[in-house]
Structure 1
Amino acid sequence: MKKLIYILIVALLASSLASPSVFAKSDNAKESLVAVGDSIPFGLNLGQTNQNPAKTSYPYIIGKLADLRVRNLGVSGWQSAQLLEALKTDQKYRQAIIHSDYVAVTIGNNDLLAILREAAAESSGNQVLFQQLLGIKLNQSDVFANIEQIISEIRTLTDSPILLYNVYNPFQLTDPLHYVADYILPTINLSFTAFAFTNEDIFLADAYTAFGNQQALYVLPGDIHPTNAGQAKLAESGLNALGL
């Protein structure tokens, strides 16, 4: 009889260990936000050394306000091709996405800035030529194809909601480039809107509208990166987009 009871106990223990609920995430465990992209989620120039992501960058603000664990994988200077490559080949990125509950994506800004600078350099102050070159280079760029592939790659790893940020105007009102950016960004940002509307569970954070013409408040002087107030505004846009 004792042997039979022992066998039953062992069988029950084995059954409970095999149950998926034993390994499921605790109901009390926090959900996670994984942020990928460039220097904007990183929070460049908000810390003393720029060696680690700034704790005042928008992913951490979202995490604090929505009670989420945050993994900030933003890398300063990255263009869309670099993020795409990381998502395809870097196990750190892939595993982070697999275990995410939300994914924030901010990318394309450096691609577009490079195009803008190339057109400005090649046009040598000729505004007509500048506009022509800008249009040609934007049409030839693979930034939007890369972003589409980034979204597809994330979707192979997780069905978590994706928070996709569009591009704000980084130039102060005193900079002539502010008005160039205001001319081209609404059209560029239509592509980000299309990504959100044509893919399931992608939520657009409208950084462009959020910043408007308040660069003096939201963009660091002599820089193109958000101030602490700018990061808070990006976080607000993200939380509103996700409904958190």
Structure 2
Amino acid sequence: MTKPIKYAAVGDSLTFGTGAPENKGFASVVQQLWSERLGADIIRRTYAVVGATTGETLERLLTNAEMRKAIAEADIVTLTAGGNDLIRAAMRMYIQGETRSMKPGMRVFANAYRDLLSELAAVHRTMEREDARIVVADCYNPFPQVRDAVLWISFVNRCIHRCAAAYGGRVLVARAYDAFLGRETDLFADDGVHPNEAGHRVLGECVADALA
């Protein structure tokens, strides 16, 4: 009998499944696809907070013993982070008028993402498994018609790809940006920000393809 594969899903509202029906969110899709493709049962543990920034996810990882144990024991870890950093920085700039630039918020994100991925890799490495992998999703763009959105999401994704590349093949990138581009009408929920059921399916397929 094939040994079950342990999967830890870490992140924000995407990992939580916001926008999709129950058990149809991204992490559930990943679990289903991996089970089918790998021919094994997948045991999933989900650690997701709606609205969490990258820094908040890092703080949770540093302080939550159960979460750290699940990641250490996992064969595969997924991470979604960055979208809420963008939203909060944009709100401070465009709505609250606290700054004339998003650069301070984006610098905070870049440092937090680097530290989060470093801590994830350190905790996961305790298993010393050659086939253990972390899969991070880059950010899709729900507002492709807005020039500033394209600019800053591109910045976020460059940070994600650069941080992942530092770990070689141990950290893989699921290219959500490319998969969603030009399909926004079909893949977003009514809030215009989160994926709908079809969008979560596409995101899950991106992650499964990255692992394959």
Q: Does TM, normalized by the shorter one, top 0.5? A: yes
Residue 156 of structure 1 corresponds to which residue in structure 2? 122
Distance 1:157 1:119 in 2: 35
Match of 2:84 in 1: 110
Matched, 1:137 2:104: yes
Unaligned segments of structure 2, at least 5 residues: 36-41, 126-131
Counterpart Cα distance in 2 of 1:166 and 1:60? 18
Q: How much is the aligned-residue C-alpha RMSD, in angstroms?
A: 2.0
Instruction: Provide the rounded CA distance (Å) in 2 between the counterparts of 1:62 and 1:69.
Output: 11
Per the TM alignment, residue 93 of structure 1 is displaced from its structure 2 partner at its CA by 0.7
TM-score of the superposed pair, with normalisation by structure 1: 0.75
* Contact 1:78–1:110 (8 Å) recurs in 2: yes
Structure with greater contact order relative to length (CA < 8 Å, sep ≥ 6)? 2
Kindly indicate whether the alpha-carbon contact (under 8 Å) linking 1:123 and 1:133 is maintained by their aligned counterparts in 2: no
Task: State the distance in 1 between where 2:184 and 2:59 align.
Answer: 32
Identical columns (%): 24
Task: Give the count of matched residue pairs.
Answer: 199
The partner residue of 1:214 within 183, 191, 209 is 183
Aligned to 2:165: 197
For the structure 1 residues 122 and 157, does the alpha-carbon distance in structure 2 shift closer, same or farther, using more than 3 Å as the test?
A: closer
In the alignment, structure 1 residue 77 sits paired with structure 2 residue 67? no
Unmatched 5+ residue regions in structure 1? 1-26, 48-53, 125-129
The separation in 2 between residues aligned to 1:88 and 1:123, in whole angstroms, is 32
Flag the structure with larger Rg.
1
The answer to whether the 8 A contact 1:109-1:167 is kept is yes
Q: Show CA shifts across 1:162-216 (max 9, x none).
A: 1011111123x6xx6x443123322321111111211130000111111002211
Which aligned pairs between 1:55-94 and structure 2 lie closer than 5 A? 55-67=23-35, 68-94=42-68
- Cα separation, 2, equivalents of 1:35 and 1:123: 35
Q: Residue 143 of structure 1 aligns to a residue in which SS? A: helix
Instruction: Give the alignment's TM-score, normalised by structure 2.
Output: 0.86
Task: Give the conservation status (yes or no) of the 8 Å contact 1:38–1:78.
Answer: yes
Alpha-carbon separation, structure 2, partners of 1:44 and 1:181: 21
Aligned partner of residue 112 in structure 2, secondary structure:
helix
Task: Choose which of 141, 144, 153 in structure 2 pairs with 1:169.
Answer: 141
